[in-house]
Structure 1
Amino acid sequence: MMQRIVVLVINCLQGGGAERAVLTLGRGFYDLGFEVHIIRFKSIVEYELSDKLNYHHVDYEPYRLIPNHKFRYKVFAKKIDHYINKNIGQPFMILSNLDRVDRVMRFSKLPNIFHIIHNNLSKKIATLNDDKLKSLSDLRDVYSKHPCICVSHGVEQDLNKSLGLTNTKTIYNPIDSHQIKLLGQQQNPGELGDYILHVGSFKKQKAHDVLIKAYAKTDMSLPLVLLGKGKLLQQIKDLVSSLGLDDKVKFIGFHNNPYPYIKNAKVMVLSSKFEGFGLVIAEALVLDTPVISTDCPSGPNELLPENNLVPVGDVDALAQKIKAAMTSPTDYIVPFDTKFLPVNIAAQYIDLVS
């Protein structure tokens, strides 16, 4: 018999937006009276975990020894099904998150499985080096088995266009405004003074290079603080040095709790080439922090008005917007919409089954 149990499956709980969204959504289900279990394939945890949820590590690593990918995923899916049946019970619904987990869970025999699509699939397809038609066929095979829940309308449109799927629906990422406000008060990064902020991993998607070049074209009256880590960190540090900005750009690394930095920023800037939802934008709105962003696919234009957006990759336009925001930051404050609260988002998921 199906119980009031929700299972969320993800590769690990490292410091990314999808991982944070999974934990927040879990709390939404808990607040609606569900028993919530989070299964991860790797042991990595970089977030503080709520004791309201249950956590499981089912190790994927030994299964890498199986050379055939598809057979490997089938075998591991059988392992996951057995684990859930034995240790958790029959869930009300199972939510699969991110590529590797999706490739496993498409072979699951359990009912009410949904894939949560956190990013634009076309961007992933564009990076594939092998046969594009074969890759598209494979992705269509992955995502046609179970319904797909997209975290923004832009992601849904992209998924439909890329794969021609019809089993899709948009449900936004949840934003725990109460928790974010509490965490925002935990510490005060007063040593930074007034500053503008970027939060995000150092990877091509976030286009730190565009941000740095745009910032260099402003009067730099406020320092630029970069919060995050990633493989392109040194490359961006080198760019900062080459432009003579070492005393203006501050690298503060990854923080488990970024909210005091977001709360105390005069302006937060996103320079991304693409997003799925733009989670950090919604979180900044909770804290009444002004936000400007590239009008990238997808998410920012579903959260921010046109006044807060600039074209993707346009260094001069971003520089002008940063100047304007530093001069009049209150012009870029946008109210937070309570439709994003975790219980409201979780209720939409429950409606899918009910």
Structure 2
Amino acid sequence: MNKILIFSSKIHRGGAEKHLVRLCNGLWERGWKVKIVVTQRGGGYESLLNDEIELSYPNRNIRSYTLSLLKSIPRLKKEITSYKPDLIFSLQDGPNVALLSLMKALKIEIPSIIGVQNNPNHLSGVIGTSVKELAKKTYGSASKCISLSAGVAKAYERMIPATIGSFSIIPNIGIDDTNTFVESARNRLNDPIALLAVGRLVEQKDYPTMLRTVEVLKKSGTEFNLRILGDGKLEESLKDQVKLMGIEKQVFFEGYVSDPGKYYISADILLLSSRWEGFGNVIVEAMSYGLPVVATNCPYGPSEIIEEGKNGFLVPVGDHEAMAKKIIDLKKGNVIYANLSKAALNQSRRYNTEVVSRQYEKVFLGVI
């Protein structure tokens, strides 16, 4: 039995964290012994892990992300020594630089693989800049790097030439094998059209563009409702924008929803207005319920999942008029909705736990 030690920040809410949980479960199903060192307790997704997967917790919880990461390094060292893994894997830039710095300092020769999840050009501020500089010094020492999209891999290779040739492109696990799939494609849109958005209420997701999109729909006479799942620091300002636009009877903020399945089932179209992404897990989740997606062609991810006009649509970043036009075209029947739904459903099955875990395992076995 191969043993893998995984180093991660708090396993909570994000798409990367949900992917990690699914990957760990998939590896366990494939016969791996899995142990995870987490920097913080209380991650909402921990309960989704298989009971046989061991978690190594800090003695006390530290709320600061940076401090919790630094305080976890001695415990990570202890686990490497006692667990004696065949392979160490970390996910996201903070844990990656901490792991590789530790291995370099102690001359640990166990194979190490790092996973990157977002565009490095958006690492900013004091902490982000520090992490970026450490990445430049350490990422070249990893046995392999795994990126969730080709665009993100190329961005890292431009920033860190030492990583050129070390990347494998493996998408995130967007759906569980246990998902209850829609049995067949959807045949027609609801009236009013049921629009759905899923994601944190932060600048990256560019919800103002989405709200301007539905404002255009209202002015065109298109009947709709939009439900937004997520919370974040922009919630109040977005609600104020909705009131100013006079669309409070059509737009509903549902807050953070741990299991959005019922919302996917009742929706017609997923909207994604992001300025940037690493992959776009919600695109795959929506497609697994037969939902076509209208998304911005942002760097990176959506264009690697969505086939224009086949299972969804891509529009320029910030272009609310183009996004509204795609929805109106669907409503008018200029595009056959049932065909999009069927293609979306088929596309989603490329991203299930079994398929993606097998791809990870192939890379892992290649360095052991």
| TM tier, smaller | 0.7 to 0.9
Q: How does 1:47-86 map to 2 (within 5 A)?
A: 47=45, 48-59=47-58, 73=70, 76-86=72-82
Work out the CA distance in 2 between the residues paired with 1:130 and 1:22. Answer: 23
* Distance 1:257-1:152 versus aligned 2 partners, 3 A rule: same
* Distance 1:36-1:260 versus aligned 2 partners, 3 A rule: farther
Work out the CA distance in 1 between the residues paired with 2:4 and 2:332. Answer: 47
Work out the CA distance in 1 between the residues paired with 2:57 and 2:99. Answer: 13
Counterpart among 310, 314, 320 of residue 315 in structure 2: 310
Counterpart among 340, 343, 347 of residue 336 in structure 1: 347
Question: What is the match of residue 345 of structure 1?
Answer: 356
State percent identity of aligned pairs. 24
Work out the CA distance in 2 between the residues paired with 1:131 and 1:196. Answer: 34
In the alignment, residue 179 of structure 1 is paired with which amino acid? Answer: T
Give SS of 1:178's match: coil
Contact 1:136/1:163 (CA < 8 Å) preserved in 2?
no
Residue 29, structure 1, aligned to residue 27, structure 2: yes
* Offset of residue 168 of structure 1: 1.8
Q: How does 1:219-238 map to 2 (within 5 A)?
A: 219=218, 220-238=222-240
Give SS of 2:155's match: helix
TM-score by length of 2: 0.82
Work out the CA distance in 1 between the residues paired with 2:302 and 2:321. Answer: 19
**Aligned pairs, number:** 335
Work out the CA distance in 2 between the residues paired with 1:92 and 1:324. Answer: 54
Contact 1:116/1:148 (CA < 8 Å) preserved in 2?
yes
* Distance 1:82-1:129 versus aligned 2 partners, 3 A rule: closer
Q: How does 1:48-197 map to 2 (within 5 A)?
A: 48-59=47-58, 73=70, 76-86=72-82, 89-106=83-100, 107-108=102-103, 109=108, 111-124=110-123, 127-128=124-125, 137-146=133-142, 147-164=144-161, 165-166=163-164, 167-181=166-180, 195-197=194-196
Comparing 267-276 and 333-342, the one that deviates more:
333-342
Work out the CA distance in 2 between the residues paired with 1:64 and 1:250. Answer: 31
In the alignment, residue 6 of structure 1 is paired with which amino acid? Answer: I
* Offset of residue 61 of structure 1: 6.8
* Offset of residue 326 of structure 1: 4.2
For residues 36-55 of structure 1, the C-alpha deviation after alignment (integer angstroms, 9 at most, x for no partner) is 22321111322342334424
Work out the CA distance in 2 between the residues paired with 1:131 and 1:276. Answer: 16
Question: What is the match of residue 244 of structure 1?
Answer: 246
In the alignment, residue 354 of structure 2 is paired with which amino acid? Answer: V
Give SS of 1:306's match: coil
Work out the CA distance in 2 between the residues paired with 1:224 and 1:64. Answer: 34
Question: What is the match of residue 2 of structure 2?
Answer: 4
For residues 308-341 of structure 1, the C-alpha deviation after alignment (integer angstroms, 9 at most, x for no partner) is 1101111211121232244444353322254423
For residues 201-253 of structure 1, the C-alpha deviation after alignment (integer angstroms, 9 at most, x for no partner) is 01111111110111110135110000011111111111111111111100111
Contact 1:215/1:322 (CA < 8 Å) preserved in 2?
no
Question: What is the match of residue 212 of structure 1?
Answer: 211
Contact 1:150/1:169 (CA < 8 Å) preserved in 2?
yes
TM-score by length of 1: 0.85
Give SS of 1:8's match: strand
Give SS of 1:82's match: helix
Work out the CA distance in 1 between the residues paired with 2:55 and 2:112. Answer: 18
Contact 1:5/1:35 (CA < 8 Å) preserved in 2?
yes
Contact 2:25/2:50 (CA < 8 Å) preserved in 1?
no
Contact 2:94/2:131 (CA < 8 Å) preserved in 1?
no
Unaligned runs of 5+ in 1: 185-191
Work out the CA distance in 1 between the residues paired with 2:292 and 2:139. Answer: 37
For residues 117-139 of structure 1, the C-alpha deviation after alignment (integer angstroms, 9 at most, x for no partner) is 01111122xx346997x875432
Contact 1:58/1:80 (CA < 8 Å) preserved in 2?
no
* Distance 1:136-1:105 versus aligned 2 partners, 3 A rule: closer
* Distance 1:178-1:168 versus aligned 2 partners, 3 A rule: closer
* Distance 1:91-1:135 versus aligned 2 partners, 3 A rule: closer
* Distance 1:339-1:239 versus aligned 2 partners, 3 A rule: same
Contact 1:198/1:225 (CA < 8 Å) preserved in 2?
yes
In the alignment, residue 101 of structure 1 is paired with which amino acid? Answer: P
In the alignment, residue 221 of structure 1 is paired with which amino acid? Answer: E
Work out the CA distance in 2 between the residues paired with 1:331 and 1:319. Answer: 20
Give SS of 2:135's match: helix
Give SS of 2:58's match: coil
Question: What is the match of residue 274 of structure 1?
Answer: 276
In the alignment, residue 143 of structure 1 is paired with which amino acid? Answer: Y
Contact 2:40/2:61 (CA < 8 Å) preserved in 1?
no
* Distance 1:232-1:157 versus aligned 2 partners, 3 A rule: same
In the alignment, residue 156 of structure 1 is paired with which amino acid? Answer: A
Question: What is the match of residue 189 of structure 1?
Answer: none
Give SS of 2:271's match: strand
For residues 143-184 of structure 1, the C-alpha deviation after alignment (integer angstroms, 9 at most, x for no partner) is 222132100111111111222222222111123343222799
Counterpart among 296, 304, 320 of residue 298 in structure 2: 296
